[in-house]
C-alpha cells in the first residue's frame, strides 16, 4: 500500500487544524501556507472532508473551517477514507466471490495481504488527531488496537 498525497495532505492539514483554536475558523490559505500545500488542492480535500462530516465550513470574516468533532474523536482512518484513499493491500476488488486472477480466483497470497491491510487500518483507526498533536507517537508508544475493520468479502 502506498498512501497517496491526497491522504497524507488531508491528515497533515487536519492535524494542523486540530492545533488551532476551535472557536476561530481557519482559512484554507492559512493551512496551505503553514503546511506548504496549494490552496486549490486543499479545496478538493476539504470538500471531501466536509462531505464526510469531519469539518464544518464557517462563512464570514472569521475564517473558513473548524473541526466537526473533537481531536480526540477524529480518527486518522476516517480522514484517509474521507478523501477516498483505500486502505487495502490486495489487488482484488469486491466482486462477490470473484478473485484477482484472470480465472476469477483469489491469488495464493490474498489472505496475507488482506490481513496486513486490516492491521494497517486498525493502527490508523487507533490513532486520533489528538494523539498525533500530543506527540504520543514520537515517544514510541503506539496505541493498542485490534483489526476492527469488517472483513471484506472474498474477492
Cell numbers given for 88:
487495502
The pLDDT value given to residue 153? 40
Helices marked H in 54-149 — which ranges?
76-82, 110-125, 129-134
State which residues of the chain have pLDDT below 70.
1-2, 60-63, 90-99, 139-155
* Domain span including residue 123: 5-134
How crowded is residue 153: how many other Cβ atoms within 10 Å of its Cβ? 11
Give the pLDDT confidence score for residue 48 in this predicted structure. Answer: 96
Q: Work out how many domains the chain is built from and give that number.
A: 1
Within a domain: 149: no
CATH of the domain at 89: 1.10.10.10
pLDDT at position 145 is 56
pLDDT at position 114 is: 82
Chain-centre distance for alpha carbon 58: 22
pLDDT at 110: 81
Q: pLDDT value at position 94?
A: 54
Amino acid at each position: 500500500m502506498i498512501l497517496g498525497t491526497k491522504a497524507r495532505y488531508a491528515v497533515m492539514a487536519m492535524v494542523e487544524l486540530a492545533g488551532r483554536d476551535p472557536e476561530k475558523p481557519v482559512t484554507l490559505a492559512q493551512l496551505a501556507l503553514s503546511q506548504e500545500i496549494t490552496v486549490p488542492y486543499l479545496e478538493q480535500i476539504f470538500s471531501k472532508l466536509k462531505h464526510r462530516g469531519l469539518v464544518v465550513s464557517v462563512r464570514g470574516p472569521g475564517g473558513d473551517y473548524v473541526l466537526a468533532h473533537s481531536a480526540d474523536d477524529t480518527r486518522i482512518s476516517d480522514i484517509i477514507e474521507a478523501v477516498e484513499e483505500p486502505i487495502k493491500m490486495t489487488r482484488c476488488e469486491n466482486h462477490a466471490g470473484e478473485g484477482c486472477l484472470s480465472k476469477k480466483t483469489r491469488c495464493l497470497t490474498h489472505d496475507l495481504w488482506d490481513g496486513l491491510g486490516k492491521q494497517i487500518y486498525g493502527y490508523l483507526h487507533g490513532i486520533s488527531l489528538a494523539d498525533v498533536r500530543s506527540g504520543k507517537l514520537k515517544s514510541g508508544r503506539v496505541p493498542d488496537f485490534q483489526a476492527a475493520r469488517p472483513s471484506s468479502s472474498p474477492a
